[in-house]
Amino acid sequence: MTPQILVESLQHLDRLGVYPRGNGMPDPALLVDGHGSRLSPVFVSYINNLKDDLTPDPTANHRWNVALGLPYATGIWQVGDSPQENGAFKYYSRVKKTMIRDYYDTQKEIPHIRRYDIVPIVNYAFRRYVES
């Protein structure tokens, strides 16, 4: 989500008066991930009632309390991205798939992986990887 889209979303909520505002009332709160765009000038200006030149705007009434969560960096690194982790997970997934196919074969069914087999495969692979 771009900073502009985020600001437009907050502006829409403010126009609708979803959160009451007034003296002595707390500003509405927003929890967002720590993506770098959450620190962009357009977003920071809006939530802090600032003008384009970053000076306070005494006529604005759209302050938000924003809590930044963990940085959104899944495009950079995810659990299982290392060759060691990825290789082990794939190996144990393959082992479980073979077990499932062998079971269907013993039942005189066409061996294949069904949608509901996915969760047991992932659980098996994850458990084995953690134990290794």
By residue count, the chain amounts to 132
pLDDT at 72 over 90: no
pLDDT at 83 over 70: no
**Rounded-to-integer distance, Cα 122 and Cα 13, Å:** 40
pLDDT of residue 85: 61
Domain edges within the chain = 3-68, 83-131
pLDDT at 78 over 70: no
Classify each residue of 83-117 as buried b or exposed e, where b means 16 or more C-beta atoms within 10 Å of its C-beta.
eeeeebbeebbeebbeebbeeeeeeeeeeeeeeeb
Under DSSP, the state recorded for 72 is -
Question: Radius of gyration (Cα) for the chain, nearest Å?
Answer: 25
Q: What average pLDDT does the structure give for the chain?
A: 85
Neighbours of 122 (CB within 10 A): 14
pLDDT of residue 96: 95
pLDDT of residue 54: 87
Residue predicted with more confidence, 131 or 116: 116
Give me the mean pLDDT over the 25-54 stretch: 88
